[in-house]
Amino acid sequence: MGIIYNETYRTWTLHTRNTSYQMKAGNLDYLLHLYYGPSICDPDMSYQIRQYDRGFSGNPYESRNERTFSLDAQPQEFSTQQQGDFRVSSIEVVNGDGSHVFHGKTTDHQIQKGKYRLDTLPSVFAGKDDTADTLQITLTDQISKVQVLLLYSVFEEADIITRAVKVVNQGDQPVHIKKIMSVCLDFLNGARMDLVSLPGRYGQERQVERQPMTHHIHTIGSVRGFSSHQQNPFVILCDREATEDHGDCYGFSLMYSGNFLAEAELDQYDQLRLVMGISPKQFFYQLNPGEMFEGPEVVMAFSEHGFTGLSHLYHDFYRTNLCESKYVQKVQRPVLINSWEAAFMDFDDVKLVEIAKAAQKMGVDLLVMDDGWFGKRDDDNSSLGDWVVNQDKIRCGLDRLVEQINDLGMKFGIWFEPEMVSEDSDLYRAHPEWAMEIPGRKGVRSRNQLALDMSRKEVQDYLIKSINQILDNANIFYVKWDINRSLADIWSNALPAGQQGEVCHRYILGLYRVMDGIIKTHPDILFEGCSGGGGRYDPGMLHYYPQYWVSDNNHPIDRLKLHYGTSFVYPVSTMGAHISDSGRLVPLKTKAVVAMCGTFGYELDATHLTKEEQALCREQSDLFRKYYPLIIKGDYYRLTNPFETGNMTAWAHVSKDKKEALLSVIVTNLTCNGPQEYIRMKGLLPNAFYTVNGKEELYSGSALMHAGLPIEREVPEYTAFQFHIQRRD
Ligand code: GLA
């Protein structure tokens, strides 16, 4: 059992294979956090906490004349509100009597086998071979009768602990939740820690930034209505000395696709607190007597082996315990070609068949018809919401078009942007009240489209019905699910004035319900997420989609950074990566090598390629299929950091049994008469011998990892190398 309750010390210890996590019902029944890190066997780590009188830090009333116990200095498992702890709170409620206070004391706990479930939000699951146990600890405010249920599931083998939180109103008056964090983690000594996050922008998502903790509250989050291009719901706290391979790293990955917040505060005593959950901005949630509110799950991991160690824990876990689609592991994914950068909205059935015929020669398995096939859509000013085939463009009908593609031996995919509506659409004309617009005000336009009020059940039902109708009436193999604007004008015509603070969260709940109703009812369809590129690339979405479009930026050299940053938490198997016309100076072969750090495909007009280019593409598609198990299931290593100046960017995929590896190197910069460059491998067996690209010469794993492979120098700029490394037994 990965969870141990020690009755003598009133401690709970969660054990995974390599880590331990401990808390205690301490002084006055406050729930204290004692430890998270490499495995320990001590039943009570509270010896670390020293009580002494601290000026201007309040003492609970029950302490009477004893001035040394203050919540302002205790490492807490879930920081309270208005109880003399002036650091970032985990909860803020407005009680029925108007008071802003939550005074939670430990009142109960339960330990159970298996993983807890969330009813309204996606969460990870335990596979049949996983040992997962669950702990629930209840904190109760005896006056307001508000209860907080802290949930923990321990995945022993995976070295993962998940947390979630529920709030229950056991009182007899409505209360309002202003802030509810899913995780609170206190470190007694945080002065030498850094915070790593994945900020970005449209076209440059998930760039990596690292900042030392200073005596401030460092905040990361999104208020754009979705997790966004600008920030990602993932942060790392690490030792200042931590590197790619060494040092303590703590990861926090929030399974939520809406507004989120992470706050990291280094306090006056160098203690560090991290909280993470739904953003309190645009959030004010009414909880009536007897009702329960669920907060999203946080997936936590700890590694002593630097960023690589941490990434591998997430990659392995997210490849097996996040998304139930058979395409995650069991069924090979296709090489696709997407019509967007080939034709934008200027296509018809004939053009699509022409692209498919050319793509067939390139070894492509799947044609995706992107934006522009529905309603009257010829540009991006109309028709979103009208999920009916545009007969002027697809003259032969959708089923006939799909048949023609299938006759070429290829599969067919289609694009939707379900959450949006154009003012120029039949849907908007029929139901203007379904769009998010604040009555009496002019709304914010973005790509000239409005967001649908996804919190409304009628909207959800309409989308489930109209999209399923398309999916059920043609042989559709793949769906690209897009969203192309941030939310503003937060409003629902279906909610009373006092509940408008619930709209953003209810939007996300509605979205998940629609996804359940479309994606989970079509287990044979491969779904890919997209948000103007990679704007909503988060675990909430990856619970539904096995893959996600990394970015609209297809420039292969920019992609090196995009793939690097994304890989800090998300496995390569989730990364949608294509060859396109972007980066004209970069050879096609190099574009292909870059796109092989992902699900591989094309985003160009195949009819414009020469025969030689088509043949080269076929070679690359075949190579991808050959290396597919390594790329999708192997361990991924970042061998260089593309954010640092260097002449080469390299990464490797190594099979779990270490018998095979694929090393990819891109020459990003050529220096005149420069030094010889070596790339050092990672992840091989030091004492085993390996061949490189099938040649006779043998190298030990040690040699490849410590001396490295010399990379040919006299090559044109942007040359790519792939080395297939195989163990010789
Ligand atoms: C977004 C996507 C693109 C494409 C367009 C279509 O920008 O990221 O790949 O699908 O929408 O409008």
Residues 19 and 156: their CA atoms lie apart, in Å, by 9
Active site residue 538: yes
In this structure, is the dihedral angle defined by the CA atoms of residues 280, 281, 286 and 292, taken in order, positive or negative?
A: negative
Closest CA to 165 of 296, 30, 34, 31: 296
What percent of the chain is modeled with pLDDT above 90? 96
Predicted pLDDT at 670? 81
- Provide residues with CB under 6 Å of ligand 1: 340, 370-371, 415, 482, 484, 530, 532-533, 549, 552
- pLDDT by residue (tens digit) across 88-101? 999 999 999 999 99
Phi-psi sector, 680: left (phi>0), alpha (psi -120 to 50), beta: beta
**If you measure from the C-alpha of residue 533 to the centroid of ligand 1, how many angstroms do you get, rounded to a whole number?**
7
**If you measure from the C-alpha of residue 334 to the centroid of ligand 1, how many angstroms do you get, rounded to a whole number?**
20
Residues 398 and 403: their CA atoms lie apart, in Å, by 9
Is residue 645 pLDDT above 90, yes or no?
Answer: no
Q: Tokens standing for 572? A: 């390569």
- 496's CB contacts (< 8 A; 6+ apart) are none
Active site residue 613: yes
User: Residue with the nearest Cα to atom 2 of ligand 1?
Assistant: 532
Q: Which is catalytic among the residues 341, 403, 613, 619?
A: 613
- φ and ψ at residue 306, rounded to 5 degrees: 65, -165
- Residue whose pair of structure tokens reads 């080269």 in the numeric block: 616
- Mean pLDDT value across residues 608-631: 97
**If you measure from the C-alpha of residue 448 to the centroid of ligand 1, how many angstroms do you get, rounded to a whole number?**
14
Cα dihedral 682/688/689/691 (nearest 10): -50
User: Residue with the nearest Cα to atom 3 of ligand 1?
Assistant: 532
Which residues partner with 14 through β-bridges? 3, 21
Closest CA to 90 of 368, 278, 270: 278
Amino acid at 595: A
**Mean pLDDT in the chain?**
97
Cβ(41)–Cβ(4) below 8 Å:
no
- Mean pLDDT value across residues 267-291: 98
Is residue 221 pLDDT above 90, yes or no?
Answer: yes
What percent of the chain is modeled with pLDDT above 70? 100
**If you measure from the C-alpha of residue 374 to the centroid of ligand 1, how many angstroms do you get, rounded to a whole number?**
15
User: Residue with the nearest Cα to atom 7 of ligand 1?
Assistant: 532
- φ and ψ at residue 695, rounded to 5 degrees: -80, 165
Distances in Å between the alpha carbon of 495 and those of 68, 297, 459, 498? Answer: 48, 26, 14, 8
Alpha helices by DSSP H, listed for 172-284, are none
- Supply the Cα-derived Rg of the chain in whole angstroms: 27
Which residues partner with 194 through β-bridges? 212, 238
| Residue among 226, 369, 371 whose CB has most ligand 1 atoms within 8 A, to mutate | 371
Is residue 1 pLDDT above 80, yes or no?
Answer: no
Instruction: Output 277-280 pairs: Cβ under 8 A, ≥24 positions apart.
Output: 277/90, 277/165, 277/179, 277/180, 277/181, 277/182, 277/183, 278/180, 278/182, 278/505, 279/221, 279/222, 279/223, 280/92, 280/178, 280/179
* Tally of CA atoms within 13 A in the half-sphere of 491 that contains its CB: 18
In this structure, is the dihedral angle defined by the CA atoms of residues 441, 444, 450 and 456, taken in order, positive or negative?
A: negative
- pLDDT by residue (tens digit) across 554-590? 999 999 999 999 999 999 999 999 999 999 999 999 9
**If you measure from the C-alpha of residue 87 to the centroid of ligand 1, how many angstroms do you get, rounded to a whole number?**
42
- 429's CB contacts (< 8 A; 6+ apart) are none
397: exposed, middle or buried (C-beta count within 10 Å: 0-12, 13-18, 19+)?
A: middle
Cβ(726)–Cβ(658) below 8 Å:
no
Residue 672's pLDDT band (cuts 50, 70, 90): confident
- Mean pLDDT value across residues 288-295: 98
Residues 601 and 580: their CA atoms lie apart, in Å, by 9
607: exposed, middle or buried (C-beta count within 10 Å: 0-12, 13-18, 19+)?
A: middle
- 42's CB contacts (< 8 A; 6+ apart) are none
Nearest atom, ligand 1, residue 344 CA: 6
Helix (H, G, I), strand (E, B) or coil at 530: coil
- Residue whose pair of structure tokens reads 């597919």 in the numeric block: 628
Among 56-60, 649-653, 702-706, whose mean pLDDT is lowest?
A: 56-60
Global pTM value: 0.98
Q: Which helix (H) or strand (E) holds 110?
A: strand 105-113
| Residue among 379, 530, 550 whose CB has most ligand 1 atoms within 8 A, to mutate | 530
Is residue 609 pLDDT above 90, yes or no?
Answer: yes
Closest CA to 19 of 43, 1, 35: 35
Predicted pLDDT at 713? 87
The angle at the Cα of 355, spanning 350 to 359, to the nearest 5 degrees, equals: 145
Sheet containing 601-603: give its strands across: 575-576, 547-549, 526-529, 478-481, 411-416, 366-369, 336-338, 601-603, 578-580
Which residues partner with 239 through β-bridges? 193
- Mean pLDDT value across residues 23-48: 97
Closest CA to 588 of 611, 620, 559: 620
Alpha helices by DSSP H, listed for 567-716, are 588-595, 611-633, 701-702
- φ and ψ at residue 66, rounded to 5 degrees: -80, 115
Residue 603's pLDDT band (cuts 50, 70, 90): very high
Predicted pLDDT at 374? 98
Cβ(37)–Cβ(23) below 8 Å:
no
Predicted pLDDT at 88? 98
Residue 551's pLDDT band (cuts 50, 70, 90): very high
Sheet containing 689-692: give its strands across: 635-638, 648-654, 660-667, 720-728, 689-692, 699-700
Q: Which helix (H) or strand (E) holds 262?
A: strand 260-266
Distances in Å between the alpha carbon of 160 and those of 42, 201, 250? Answer: 20, 30, 11
Residues 501 and 491: their CA atoms lie apart, in Å, by 9
Nearest atom, ligand 1, residue 415 CA: 10
Is residue 255 pLDDT above 80, yes or no?
Answer: yes
Q: Which is catalytic among the residues 453, 538, 552, 635?
A: 538
